[in-house]
Amino acid sequence: MTKLKPPFPERNCLRSSNSMFSGVVFDLDGVIVDSHPVHKRAWREFLTYLGKNVSDLDLGFIFEGRRREEILIHFLGDLSDSQIHEYGKKKDEFFRQASEDLKPVEGTIEFIRILKQAEVCMGLATSASRQRALWTLQQLEVNDCFDVVVTGDDVIKGKPDPALYSLAAERLGISPHFLVAVEDSISGVASAKSAGLYCVGVASADDGARLIRAGADCVVPNLMKLSIQDLDERLKTSSPDRENRHFVSASG
């Protein structure tokens, strides 16, 4: 197994005087990596391994930014800390076994590399465990792009609570008002906005309407062909007024 290590670089965050942001904080599942199908399969196989059969509807519970501990207790009832730890490790084994189907979300890796080249600070704010988050970043070869990684292991409450994004801002040393969150779920948008960040949703036009209602400043179908200048313009034209937030194509 790949040895996990957090090579988070020390870097000055650059922000020009007329820019809206100096850092970007990404969600992991559904934003950087298209892991929802693999995640669902791993949870199903893990629960089956424990003798518990669950429906697709029941498995919908795992996709709203919840911490692993919350998911385990939801399906298995009250657990001791040692049980949560051991079950969590076992679930991650199922995830890694299914990871041959793991693919990056279209356009996100390219955008991360654009931000790195421009020396824009980046963070990760995910309800996933630290082990799985670091392992996934290493598989995608972007682990050296992130200055901070905040996971479900670092907070008591997962999304939609603002704790993940508040901690990411604190560790980056940047005011939330100069940070942009990139999210794909309602709970993630709520978490980012409650912490004071701008928020760009990544979703189809149909799902994008839900993210706008949740508070996203704008929604794009993906991050393909999105430049730093494009993102800045999106934020400059966004408004707290719902009617001024909008769904836009990634190209313009």
pLDDT at residue 14, rounded to an integer: 53
All structural domains of the chain: 23-34+104-247 (3.40.50.1000), 36-101 (1.10.150.240)
pLDDT given for residue 13 in this prediction: 59
The mean pLDDT of 209-235, rounded to a whole number, is 92
Q: How far is CA 42 from CA 30, 69, 96, 191, 210, in A?
A: 16, 15, 8, 25, 27
| Residue 201 DSSP code | E
* 184 or 18: which leads in pLDDT: 184
pLDDT recorded at residue 12:
54
Statement: the pTM of the whole predicted model exceeds 0.85: no
Q: Which class for 226: exposed (0-12), middle (13-18), buried (19 or more C-beta within 10 A)?
A: buried
* pLDDT on residue 222: 94
Spatial separation of the C-alpha atoms in residues 67 and 72, rounded to whole Å: 9
Cβ–Cβ under 8 Å, residues 59 and 226: no
Provide mean pLDDT across the span 69-97: 91
Beta bridge partners of 198: 180
Give residue-wise pLDDT tens across range 151-203.
999 999 999 999 999 999 999 999 999 999 999 999 999 999 999 999 999 99
Residue type, 130: R
Distance from C-alpha of 20 to C-alpha of 213, rounded to nearest angstrom: 22
User: How high is the pLDDT of residue 235?
Assistant: 86
**What residues does 181 pair with on adjacent strands?**
25, 199
Three-state DSSP class for residue 23: strand
Structure-token pair, residue 174 = 């940047």
Q: What are phi and psi of 235, to 5 degrees?
A: -70, -35
- Where is average pLDDT lowest: 168-182, 219-233, 235-249? 235-249
- Segment (H or E) for 182: strand 179-183
**Token pair for 197:** 């960040």
Which tens digits make up the pLDDT trace of 26-76? Answer: 999 999 999 888 888 999 999 999 999 999 888 888 877 678 888 999 999
Any residues with CB less than 8 A from the CB of 207 and at least 6 apart, and which? none
Amino acid identity of residue 131, one-letter, is Q
Q: Residue 182's beta-bridge partner residues?
A: 26, 200
Q: Is the pLDDT of residue 241 over 60?
A: no
Least confident window among 204-208, 221-225, 228-232 = 204-208
Question: Whose structure tokens read 């965050």?
Answer: 13
What pLDDT shows up at residue 155? 94
Look up 27 and say whether it is catalytic.
yes
By the 8 A CB rule, do 192 and 78 touch? no
At residue 247 the predicted structure's pLDDT band, cuts being 50, 70 and 90, is very low
User: Distance between CA 232 and CA 16 in Å, rounded?
Assistant: 11
- Token digits of residue 184: 């794909």
Q: For residues 83-87, give the mean pLDDT.
A: 92
pLDDT digits (tens, 9 = 90+) for 93-144: 898 888 877 899 999 999 999 999 999 999 999 998 898 899 999 999 999 9
| Predicted pLDDT at 2 | 36
Q: What is the pLDDT of residue 18?
A: 67
Q: How far is CA 31 from CA 16, 46, 183, 237, in A?
A: 26, 24, 6, 23
